[in-house]
Every structure is written in C-alpha cells, then in structure tokens.
Amino acid sequence: MIRGLQDMGTLKVSAVIEAINAEKTAEQYTGENKLDSSSIGREQYLKLTAQLPDTTEEDVHLINTHLILVADSSGSMAGNPWNQVLSSLEYIIGESVGNGQIHLDVIIYDTKAKVLQYTQHNYAIQLSRLKSGGMTNFAEAFSRVSGLLKNQIDDKPVDQTVIMFMTDGEDTVSSKDQLSRGISTFRGNLQSLGHDVIVHAVGFSRSHDYKFLSNLCTAGTIEGMFRYCEPSDGKGALKRKLEELFDFISCVDGRQADIQLTIGGADKLVGVDELLQTTVIKGQIITKEPEDKKDKIGDAMAAAANVNHCAQTFVQAETWVYLEDPHSIPHMGIKALFKMPQDKEQKMAVLCEIVSFQRQIVTEPVDKIRWSLRILSRNTDVLASKFAQTLQQKGDIAKLEKRLHRLQGRIANTQVFGNKGITKEFRNAVLEQIKEIQTKVDIMHGMMAEYKRGQGQSVAVLARANDLRYAAEFSKSRRHRVMNIRVSRNVDQAKIAQKQLSTLKVDQDYVKSLSQDALQFYFCVLSQNDIKDILLDQEDISDMMGFGLAVRRPEHVLDEPTAIRVWCISGTLVSRTAMMDAWEHKITVDGHLSTHGGFNMDHDSPLGVTTVGQGREPINAWLPLYVCQSHWERVKALLKPTLGYFCMLDPHGYDYKQMDVMFYILGSMIGQLNPETAGEHQLKILFAFHRTCAATVKDFDLTDQVKEIVHKFISSAEGRTKDIVSNLFTLIGYIVSLPTVTVEEIFGASSEIRATRLQQFWMTFTCECLRRAAGNAYRETNDNVINGILDQILHGVGQGILQDSNIKVKEPPLTKPKAMLVTKCHNVKSDVSIDSHVFDPKDTVTPPTVIYSHSVKVDKAMDIWAQAQCGIIKNKNRAEQVAQANKVVRQWLDEGVEMVSPCDMSSTATESQQPPPLDEFEPDYISHSMVYTLAKVLQKLQNNAYSDIACIPGCIAFVEFWLSEQPGFAELDSNSGMAPVSWTDRVKAAIARVYSCMDELVVSSRDEVDPDTLVCVEDLPPSTPTTASTKSEDDVAYSDYDSDDSHGSERHARRRITHGPRITLPMVVHAVNPLVDLTLCVRAMTCQALVLHSNSKARAAAKGGQLRDFHSGTENAVTTLQEAHNDLVKQSTSVLQRLIDFALWQRANYCMLEATTPWAFVGYLMNTYKERGEGFHELVNILTSKDRVNPIPCMVDKVRILLIGKHEECVVLANGNTWMPERKMAREFEKVIGEAAWTSIELQLNSCVQIHVYRESDIPNRHGHCNSNPYIPNKLRKALGMPLMPECVKGPAKKGPLRIGNKLTR
C-alpha cells in the first residue's frame, strides 16, 4: 500500500499498444483516431503505466513473510535426493539471512519432526549434521508447523505465512483417521491466523500421495502451488524445484497491485484460452528517481548514499488485447486495486484516467523475433494450463493434441539465423528462451504419450499436470529474479553504508598537508575540484575521486562480471558527484589535452558515451581510487554499490563475484604498458588504482581466496580453464595486489626461485591465452578442418597423413627454422587466410571390394553349427557332422577376412594411403611450408586472443618490477598518494628491457634469413624495431578490448595497436625464456591449443595429464607433437578398419537374407553380431526395403529372431534382450510380413517384460497390485485371455499363474 492514495482522486495512466506490421517502419500514434498504416494484426500488446504519489522507501509497505519449510528426511530420501535437499536448504537459508522481509523456520521430519536450530554463522554446519532415515509421519510435521504459527515476529507484524511442504512418499506411520484429524486441525489453525496463509507442496518420485498433496495446497486462505519432479528428471531436479519456489516467494515483497480492466464494444481482452470484456491483471509497483533532480542513472548511485530521498512510483501492467478494428483506439475503463494495511480482506479501488496513448508498430527483425517469442511463450503457458486441467478432469485431449503439434511447428519455424542486425548475444538469448519453451512442450508430449498408454490418471501424470499449471509462474527471466534477490539483500547494506559515511571523520591536518603535485593530479576536470575540496566538503560526504572508463555489458555479466567489455580506460580523473552530473546532463568537455593520453582502445561499433575525457576518449563508467586513508574509508563504504552499478547499472545489484572486476581492470591497465604508452600520468593512475586493489584485498579479506586461485593456476592444469579463471587479466591484478608475504609463499622468497616460478607462470599464462584464442577462432569449425591445419603444421604442405599425395615430394629442412619463424610471424599480414586441406577420412583409404555370394553348403553348415552352439544337437553320433560344419564356417569367415585384408588392397591403394607407423614422426624436421602455415595460424589466433598476446610483455615487465623491487605502498602513502618518480622510472626500465629482448630477436632473425626465402609470404611493409620510436609519451595508442573470451566471433575486425610495436607469439616466448627451443615450443603450444580449443576438451585433458606446460626442456613439447601425429595416424587407421567392418557386415547381411532356414540365419547372425549395432540396423533396413524384388526366405522367422533376440528359447542376439521398434519402423515390418504375423510378434514383444518385485508380504499396494497380481496393461491382458482390470476399481484382480518372459507368477 502506498501512502497518499486515499487523497488522490484518479491516477494518470500512459498506455502503449504494440502491433506487428511486416511492411512499414516503426510509427507512433499522434492523436488521430486512425493510424495511417498498412495492415496490422488484431492481436496487440497493451502496456499500462500509472503514476502514484511521490514516495520514499518507507512509504511502500513491504510484505513481511513467515516462511516455514517442511522437508522429508525419511529413509527413502537417502542418497542424491537428500543431498539435493541439503543443498537447497543451504541456499534458501543463506538468501533468507540477509532478507529483512522473510523470517525462515525449517522443519525436518521422518518418524519424528524437529525444528532446525541455526544462526547465520553456523547454519552450514548444522545442515551437514542432518541425516536421512526413519519413516514418514505427516501428522508429526503438521503438529510442529502449528506450533510455529505466529502473527508477530521480532516486533514486526506477519503479513503472510508461506509453508513449503516436501515429500517423496505417503504417510507410513499414521492411520487414515489420525491423518484426517491431523489435517483438519492443521487447516483450522491456518484459517484462524488472521492473515494470508499459503501452502505450497513439492512431490518427489511417483510414489508420493498426489491426492493428499494437491488437497494440502488448499489448506491455507490462498491456494498454493504444486511442484513435481522425479529422479528421471535429472540429478538436480528436486534442488531446482525447491529453489525456484523459494525465489518466487522471495520476489513477492508487497510491490504488487491488481489492475481491473474493462474494454468496450467488440474489442476483447485475451485471457487464458478465452476472450473477455473484463479481467484483473497483476501490476508491479516500481520506483524511479525524479528526473528533475537526478536522472535515473546518476541518482541510482546516490541512492546508495541517501536512501530516504523522495522518488517517483509507478504501477506497470501488461496484457494482450484483441481489437476488432486493429487501427482504432480501444475504449477502456481502468481501476487500480490496492490492499488496505488495516483490513487485508478489502481492497481500495482507485479510478485511472488515460492521459496519453501510443501505438508502436513492430517492424525490425529483432523486434519481430521478440514478438514471436512473446506469443510462443504465452501460447505455451495457456496450452499447458489447459492441458493440465483437461487431464485432471479426464477430458478429451484430441483438440489439445492438434494445438500441441501446431505449437511445435511454430517453434521449429522461428527464424533465429539469417536475419540482419542480430548479434550473437541476442541469438543466444533467443535460443535459450526457445529451449525453455521447448522443455515445456516436451513435457506435454510425454504426458500425452502416457495418457494414451492408459496411464492418464496415474500419480506421475496427474502430478506432472498439476506442476505444469504453475509453469508460467516461474517463467520470468532469471535476470529479473536474481536481481530482485540481490536488491532485497543489498538494500540494508546501502543503509549501513550511509550510516558509516555519516560517522566518518576526515583527517583534516593530513588533507591540508597534501602536496601541490597531488592536488594538481587528483583534480576533477568536470567539477574543477581537487581532492582536498572533495574531502573537506561536509555537504557531500559521498563524493570521491576516481577515473573514467567506457564499457559494454553483455547479458551474461549477471553470472560473470569480468565478461564486461572494456573499450577505453581513460586517463581523465573525475569525481563521483561530477560523474553523476555528467550522466544527467551529458556534459562534453571542449578542448583536447593530449598530454594526459590514456589507456585507449579503438573500436568501430557505436558506443553509448556519457562524456569524453581530456584525450577525447569516451567515458560512460567510473571506478574510485585510494588516494589516502580518509578517502579510502569513503571508497570502502560505497565500493559494493559502486561495483553493483558498474556491472549491473543498479547500486543494489552487487554480488561478491564483482570484486574480481577491480583486479580485471587493473590487469587490463598493466597489459597496455609498452614503450609508447608508459607515460608519467598513465603510470600514476595505474599505481593509484593498484593501491586501491591492494587495499581491497586486505580490507575485504580476499587474501586466502586470491592466493588459492593463483596457486592452483601455477601448480595444476585443472586450475587454468575458463570455468576456474574466467578472465586471464584478473590473474595479473591478483598477483600484484597480494601482500608481500603471500607473494613470497607463492613465488618464493629468493630471487632465483622467484625467477623460475615466474617463468613457469608466464609460459603457462601464454599457453592458456593461446588455447582460448583457438577456442574463439575455431569455436564453430569442423574438426576435419582443424585436423587439416594440424597436419600441415606437423608435416608440411603436401607431406601429411591426411593430404593429397600427388605433390608428396619431401621439402628440404630449414637450416635456421627459428629465424625463419620469427621473421615470418613478424611480417605476415594481420588479415591472413589459411588454405589448409580439409580432412575427409574416406579420402585416406580405398574401400575394400567384397564379392557377394550365397552357398547352399555354407547354409547347411551354419544351420548345424548354430544348433550345436545353442545345445540343440546333443547326439554324439552327430559329432563328425558338427566338426565338418565348424570347418566350413571357419573357412567362410577366413574368406571374408582375406577379401578385405589391407594386404590385398596393395594393388589398388597407393603407397601414400597406407598410414605410417606411429614412430615415424620427426619432431626436429622443420620445412618452409610448416613455418609458413604456423605463422598464418598464429596470426589468426592472435587476432582472436583475449587476453591479447600483445599485452603479455607489458604484464611481464610490471610484475617483474613489482615482485623484484617489492617497494610496498608506504612510500606512495607518504607521498600524498602519488607514485614516486623512482617507481615510474623503474617500470619504464623494466618495459624497455623486455622489449629490447624481443627487439634483438627480431633484428637477429631478419639478418639470418635470406630475403629470397620470404617472397611467398604475404608481407607487410618492413617494420621498425619495436622500441625504436620517435613519438612522445603523450601520443595515444589505441587497441580494442574485449573482456569476454567467449565472443571471439565478434572480434574478427579487432584492431592491432596502431602506433605501438608489433608483438608475436615467438617474441613473447623468447621474452619469457630466451633459452627455450623456440620453434619446437611454439609448434607444440599451437598444436595443443588447436587440439584442446574447447573448454570441455581442456578440462578432460587436464584431468588426464594431457594439458602440458612447456617452460623447461623439450620433453613435453616433443610428446605433444608426437601425440598429435599419432592421433592423425589413428584416425586414418580407424577409418580403414571401419570400412573393413562395413564390408564384412554387407557380406554377412547378404548371406542372412538368402539363408534358407531359420537356423542357418541364426548361424550367420551369431558369427556377425553380438549386439544391435550399425550393421544390424543396415540389415533391418534391407529387410524392410521396398526396392527388393525377390522374396526373402523365412521372412517372419527372421524378423522375430531379430526383435526377440532368441530362437526356440535359445539366446542368439544381444543376450536375449528384446528390441521394441519405433512406431514408424513397426509399420514397415507390418507391411513386409503381414498384419497377422506382426500382431503375433508384437504380442510376444509385449510379453517379454520384467515383472516389478513388490513387497515380500504380498500385501497389495494402494493400486491393488502385488507379486501375485502385478500390473499388466489391459491390452496385453486381452491378448493373453486374462480378466481386464477396470480403471476405476482398485483391488486384486483374478489370480492365476501367468508366464511373462522367462518368469512364472503364481
């Protein structure tokens, strides 16, 4: 309820209707009665926004919820189900602890029930002590719940009580009378509370009491929801249901209002499967900042510091309408209904007046896809609800089945690819939404199948139907739900931050003693205030000094904050308040002060720009700096809301993962250091932010967490993949922000040990960077293409295992491969294309030739052999006959092997088609074409690398300076927060050393290489040495940043550093370890990156020890190259073997088709197939083929043997297991053998089922089934002549012995 509504006559409403138009561009209604537009659809989407009285946070009455979670811990829950419950409880308790609107009680019940005693500090330990066991006692659980019911908790009134009841079975302790009395008492206790009570139920497994749980959902004053899952839904299904239900409950915080809509004339409101004149829709109350004070972006940050300011409040609601005239304005009556705090049973109706109306026409491809998905989602939810209702009422589902098929067709026809203007992120979001819709449709298909099998009223189908009714309630986007949880959790933190700010004291003596250099450096160019003005201004205690950035935020930044794309790290300092003003007014600074430069990156796509910096660089984001202790106290108090806004554009959207953004930005700044960008100003900002990150590690207790990540990355291959370290730049920020003691623990205290471990780290870092680049470059590339590239890197053009052999003349080895590699990598074009052979396995070998023939003699031998194998022939007098048959069968098998033997293929296959032995690879042999291919591949990987390989030298130089010098921050703090000149000089010197080392390699390599050997290279103009530069440090170097290496396809136009040095992988490897065998190491690193380019392959290789380091020696490099060679050989060999197997299958299948007796057929079958594999299905396809002219002998018997797996009760195929063909295949069998024969086989297939073993006591279960009267479908009962089982009658049917498969029931 919003204060002030009683005094307001009407609410002003803005209405927007969206309609789809396939021809025109977007238009808006301008006030005329008709819209001049071509044909638009009658079904349109109405959005209403009603403005409420201006409010403060306290004016909105939030619902206080008493949540009671009742979890079944009986013995049947043991194992994975109980682990899921514990995991869900840990999540729910953890989210509830910081939520002021939810008070949580947890009841664990089996034979007895108990309330879980926990605190916010020990709940994880308490949960770990819980065990499953005992029986299921609902009455005891209800008694415990009744004892917890309250109207007031912690001096706050309870607005609603919500109970989540979970079980996997039925009550096994209480009698029916006891349970009936217990539920009656429980219902009465709930109804007498005096506020809203809702009971939700979660049923797990098919054995739960569906009727009981569905009735339980009606026990409160408001009907609750029923969720259902079973073990076959997946290991995490139960956990997901519980957490979804809790998330839904936690989102209902009182910010809702009902909107009553009435539409006149022939127009209609679209309801659930019906058109209405009047309906009530749910509205959401939202709060926005007043635009006359601060825009919603700027003042959202101010909300973290001042949470009691006045804000604008709106009710937003949406619904579908059907307009008889799609161009007309619908006549609507609108009322907003609000609950009265003093009387929750009544609602106050407030009239609404539409003051503005717009019609927006959907024309763009992206908007049309959104429209289609919106309709698909709505139709799916409507059909799911109708489907569930029809099943529960035993209605006719024929019409629903047709609607389901139409819906499936529309999903399949949704155009996701081939539309202009659709980005990869949008396409992924669309595919994810389609996947969610398809999941619901699949559930309905499954329920339809079970219903048709006569199980329409089974527990599983009814429970699934009831669960489906509420699927739409949980179809909100994950982002909305998670953001609501975060806001609820973080709003109290914002209030705490405000209190902390109000109590902070500024050390005025220290501030007044700040040096003039510091005041000039820490100077806001927008507000013209220096750091002293900011700290001494008591009217704005939330103002801070920081620096600007330009960023883009992909959707998945919700889960991975370091996926933010950084486009520009500015060298311009601005204050927080000035940045908020810039967000509001879009201030632009005139003039160009190029002396400050900055960490700038060029880009082509448009970017939202709030303001520009002194170097005209774009700025749309902001992060704070340390400066001094007094300033840091302010930064620390507001760092979480600052990061929440930086990542999520919401100061209340903070999540602990967002701390990594600080270190990611620091690593990015360090990576941009090179001889041309390492100016005094840039380094001062870098050190100031470096100080901020170090303080963050210390004051937010991140040391142990960061240490573990860095240590695992260095020590274990399993600690390097993207799921562990999402962004490699973050590692750089981690290392330089750790305390000195911790750094020594990781890298060693002595200079020798530290140098060795750093060398290992940088080589590992470079390998992982290259591997992720390969993932970006070859994400959607067929493995055959990658294998072709590998073949050329390993063996040269025309020399490999998988390539065309026409030009296979071995190239002479290079005398100076290292110099050639360095020079070609340095000169190859940036937009290089790679011409590689695409590996087609069938091209590497010639298929064997097989002669098909049928012999009556072999048939007779197979007949005798098969009977002997199955024990049919036991007469010793036939031993000679059996021996002769064995000899003929063996001869037939040997003839087949000889036909397809590779040695017989030598006359038709060229020598090159024979795969070389595994040990014939020469890792030291390097040819010109190998180096050329390698240079082009490396350039392509570098174009797709993030972290950028060109950034590694800057990182090496800075980390080397920081870890070797270990200056600490005391000197910086004593210098008014300014980096001493000695620091900047030493950093420049370290950068110069690294680049000089790479320069020497390039120059010496160029001198060693004969220029004539470079004519085939796609050369650039000759490059100057990397450190030779005539530019001043004020010049600006641009490069493109992308903070998520999962978007390599979007970086095909990445720009290299336009004025900076050209860096290649051989140069980086040489800078890391000048003594390494450069050519061998780079080849091995590249091959490993290509082979393990996907994260899943890398994780598997890390576990198996195949993800190797190359920091010392040549053993790992040689092993990696040898394994890549061996893998290509094995692929070629496996293709040949597969062709041999296929030829043998074809020969045997021909003989089986022509076999004149069933036992001869069995003989061929047993000698060819053990299981139903590829060759078996090829045989089935031939049997059912319409193209065959001649009849197949013993056709019915052969089909029966293939499906049953037995002949005359003897196991002959697949261990005697049956094969039930799909409906389409079954119809094909019926066509070729006749209806009567197929009916007989189908009956035999249905009879070969396993009997469910019931309890030993033979007491019938609640369905009337037991060991002596198992459940058998009526269709099978009818065929077997058994009494039919009435659907509506429970209890044992007529007893009698029945043979099912190999079992006899009595």
The pLDDT of residue 206 is 61
Q: Is 707 left (phi over 0), alpha (psi -120 to 50) or beta?
A: alpha
User: Given the DSSP bridges, would you call strands 332-340 and 311-322 parallel, antiparallel or unpaired?
Assistant: unpaired
Helical H runs in 197-331?
Answer: 210-216, 237-251, 298-305
The pLDDT of residue 515 is 92
CA 551, CA 661: separation in Å to the nearest integer? 12
Least confident among 328-332, 545-549, 554-558, 1234-1238 = 554-558
> Would the pLDDT of 287 be above 80?
no
The pLDDT of residue 1288 is 40
> Would the pLDDT of 481 be above 50?
no
Count Cβ atoms within 10 A of the Cβ of residue 783 and give its class: 0-12 exposed, 13-18 middle, 19 or more buried: middle
Least confident among 6-15, 29-38, 630-639, 1178-1187 = 29-38
> Would the pLDDT of 1296 be above 50?
no
Per-residue buried b or exposed e for 1226-1265, using 16+ beta carbons within 10 Å of the residue's own CB? bebbbebbeeebbeebbebbbbbeeeeebeeeeebeeeeb
> Would the pLDDT of 928 be above 60?
yes
Per-residue buried b or exposed e for 856-868, using 16+ beta carbons within 10 Å of the residue's own CB? eebbbbbbbbbbb
Helix (H) or strand (E) holding 769: helix 751-777
Q: pLDDT of 165-200, one tens digit each?
A: 888 767 778 877 778 888 888 888 888 888 889 898
Closest CA to 354 of 374, 335, 328: 335
Please tell me which of 152-166, 486-500, 546-560, 857-871 the model is most confident about, judged by mean pLDDT. Answer: 857-871
> Would the pLDDT of 387 be above 80?
no
> Would the pLDDT of 656 be above 50?
yes
Beta bridge partners of 285: 315
Beta bridge partners of 311: 55
Q: pLDDT of 503-529, one tens digit each?
A: 778 888 888 899 999 999 999 988 888
> Would the pLDDT of 480 be above 60?
no
Please tell me whether the peptide bond between 947 and the residue prior to it is cis, using omega within 30 degrees of 0.
yes
Residue type, 58: E
Q: What confidence tier does 899 reach under pLDDT thresholds 50, 70, 90?
A: confident
Q: pLDDT of 237-284, one tens digit each?
A: 777 777 777 777 766 554 567 888 999 888 999 876 678 889 888 887
> Would the pLDDT of 357 be above 80?
yes
pTM above 0.85, yes or no: no
Q: What are phi and psi of 53, to 5 degrees?
A: -60, 145
The pLDDT of residue 233 is 60
The pLDDT of residue 288 is 61
The pLDDT of residue 1257 is 62
The pLDDT of residue 493 is 62
> Would the pLDDT of 413 be above 60?
yes
Q: Is 154 left (phi over 0), alpha (psi -120 to 50) or beta?
A: left
Mean pLDDT of 619-625: 91
Rounded to an integer, what is the distance from CA 286 to the centroid of its chain? 29
The pLDDT of residue 1044 is 38
The pLDDT of residue 405 is 81
Helical H runs in 1205-1302?
Answer: 1223-1233, 1235-1247, 1274-1280
> Would the pLDDT of 615 be above 70?
yes
Q: What confidence tier does 302 reach under pLDDT thresholds 50, 70, 90?
A: very low
Q: Which residue has the higher pLDDT, 48 or 506?
A: 48
> Would the pLDDT of 85 be above 90?
no
Kindly state the tokens that stand for 153: 């908790």
What percentage of the chain carries pLDDT values higher than 90? Answer: 25
> Would the pLDDT of 145 be above 60?
yes
CA distance readout (Å), 479 to 283, 372, 558, 559, 688:
19, 21, 7, 9, 34
Mean pLDDT of 883-910: 74
Q: Count of CB atoms within 10 A of residue 499's CB?
A: 9
The pLDDT of residue 34 is 39
The pLDDT of residue 819 is 92
The answer to whether 960 and 734 have CB atoms below 8 angstroms apart is no
The answer to whether 1151 and 1165 have CB atoms below 8 angstroms apart is no
Q: Which residues contact 1130 (CB under 8 A, 6 or more apart)?
A: none
The pLDDT of residue 912 is 40
Closest CA to 776 of 375, 1094, 1189: 1094
Q: What confidence tier does 859 reach under pLDDT thresholds 50, 70, 90?
A: very high
Least confident among 690-704, 1013-1027, 1212-1226 = 1013-1027
Mean pLDDT of 112-116: 91
- Identify the three-state secondary structure at position 3: coil
The answer to whether 18 and 47 have CB atoms below 8 angstroms apart is yes
The answer to whether 164 and 242 have CB atoms below 8 angstroms apart is yes
The pLDDT of residue 38 is 52
The pLDDT of residue 486 is 54
> Would the pLDDT of 289 be above 60?
no
Q: pLDDT of 1030-1051, one tens digit each?
A: 333 333 332 333 333 333 333 3
Residue type, 443: I
The pLDDT of residue 659 is 93
The answer to whether 1088 and 767 have CB atoms below 8 angstroms apart is yes
CA 844, CA 1129: separation in Å to the nearest integer? 10
- Identify the three-state secondary structure at position 45: strand
- Identify the three-state secondary structure at position 1049: helix
The pLDDT of residue 1149 is 92
CA 954, CA 952: separation in Å to the nearest integer? 5
Kindly state the tokens that stand for 358: 């717009």
> Would the pLDDT of 474 be above 70?
no
Axis-axis angle for helices 424-450, 459-469 (nearest 10): 140
Mean pLDDT of 1236-1243: 88
The pLDDT of residue 26 is 33
Residue type, 1052: H
Rounded to an integer, what is the distance from CA 29 to the centroid of its chain? 41
Closest CA to 1093 of 1042, 1048, 1041: 1048
Q: What confidence tier does 421 reach under pLDDT thresholds 50, 70, 90?
A: low
Residue type, 169: G
Q: Look over the chain and give the mean of its residue pLDDT values, rounded to a whole number.
A: 78
Helical H runs in 1025-1076?
Answer: 1065-1072
Residue type, 971: E
Please tell me which of 30-39, 390-399, 499-508, 695-704 the model is most confident about, judged by mean pLDDT. Answer: 695-704
Mind giving me the DSSP string for 1067-1078? HHHHHH-TTS-H
Q: What confidence tier does 979 reach under pLDDT thresholds 50, 70, 90?
A: very high
The pLDDT of residue 97 is 80
Q: Which residues contact 1060 (CB under 8 A, 6 or more apart)?
A: 674, 676, 677, 950, 1037, 1039
CA distance readout (Å), 699 to 546, 641, 693, 703, 974:
19, 16, 10, 9, 20
Using the Cα atoms of residue 472, residue 473, residue 478 and residue 483 in order, give the sign of their dihedral.
Answer: positive
